[in-house]
A = this chain, B = another copy of it.
Amino acid sequence: MSGDWQPGQRIPVEHELATEYRCSRMTVNKALSALAERGMIVRRRKAGSFVAAQQIDRTVMDIQDISTEAELAGYQHDYQMLMRRIERLDASDAALLREPAGAEILRLQCLHLVDGKPNAIERRIIMLDAVPLARDEAFASVPPAKWLLEQVPWSKARHIIRAVSADAATARLLETERGEACLTLIRQTWQNGGTVTYVEITHPGDRFQFAGDFQPAEKDAFDHTTRRSAT
């Protein structure tokens, strides 16, 4: 516990730390790289390593496919295809996805049931350019998430979690009240810079939540107490 590190403060160079702690530079490098990956320090060649300015609380959330999740919890998962339509991307969706309007898409809507009870509505857009095989796929037995997973690897994903009030259609499908608080997970996945799919999954708020853990894992590298945000 040799004290706190102020944001922006420079950390001694690897070589110095190595001699100070009687270990090889590789070992120091590994430790500092781990800290950098966690966002606690920032490293720049020639400039050096610095305590990160915004000390952020990085939480790892395990966000799963509904069917997998149900399976793991030992529940039965089922789903119904409510809509399946080939369209062209309209202006508003194009802006949302940041893809050119007019691109051919497959628009899906389906209802997921866990243990026989409605658990989520999935509204999905699949870019047919990126996944041409989807054009002829009915998704009769395999849910779209699973099917896509087997067809297309993705290289980047972005998630957004929102609270929304159930509109009339959503409430009816999820067998809940209109205006009920729902948790919507929005996920967009990319491959080679192009969108593969965009999906909004809406869960009834009283039957769903997201959980995530964080532990530093690094064994207090170099005996310093590192600061963290948001307690």
- A229 and B153 contact, Cβ closer than 8 Å, known pairs A165-B180, A180-B165: no
Contact, CB under 8 Å: A215 / B155: yes
Chain A 28-69 per-residue mask, 1 if CB under 8 angstroms from chain B, else 0 = 000000000001000000000000001111111111110010
**Contact yes or no, A215 B156, CB < 8 A:** yes
Bound together, the chains give a CA A65 to CA B161 distance in angstroms of: 17
Contact assessment for B187 and A153 in the assembled complex, using a CB-CB cutoff below 8 Å:
no
Determine whether the beta carbon of B189 is less than 8 Å from that of A231. Answer: yes
Q: Which of A131-159 contact B (CB under 8 A)?
A: 145, 148-150, 152-159
Neighbour of A56 across the interface among B62, B156, B197, B210, CB < 8 A: B62
**Identical chains in the assembly:** 2
CB of A231 within 8 A of CB of B182, answer: no
Residue A228 at the chain B interface, CB threshold 8 Å: yes
Instruction: Tell me if A196 counts as interface (CB < 8 A to partner B).
Output: yes
* Cβ contacts A151-174/B at 8 Å (1 or 0 each): 011111111111111000000000
Size range of the interface on A?
A: 35 or more
Residues in B whose Cβ lies below 8 Å from that of A214: 156-159
Contact in complex: B64, A156 (CB < 8 Å): no
B59 and A205 contact, CB distance less than 8 A? no
Q: Are B149 and A161 interface neighbours, CB within 8 A?
A: no
Interfacial residues of chain A within 203-221, with CB under 8 A of chain B in the complex? 203, 205, 208-216
Q: How far is the CA of A183 from the CA of B185 in the complex (A)?
A: 12
Q: Is the C-beta of A230 less than 8 angstroms from some C-beta in chain B? A: yes
Check A161/B180 contact, CB under 8 A, given A57-B63, A63-B57, A230-B145: no
Contact between A228 and B59, CB atoms less than 8 A apart:
no
- A227 interface contact, C-beta 8 A: yes
| Given A214-B156, A228-B154, A231-B149: A161 and B161 interface contact (C-beta under 8 Å) | yes
A225 at interface, CB cutoff 8 A: yes
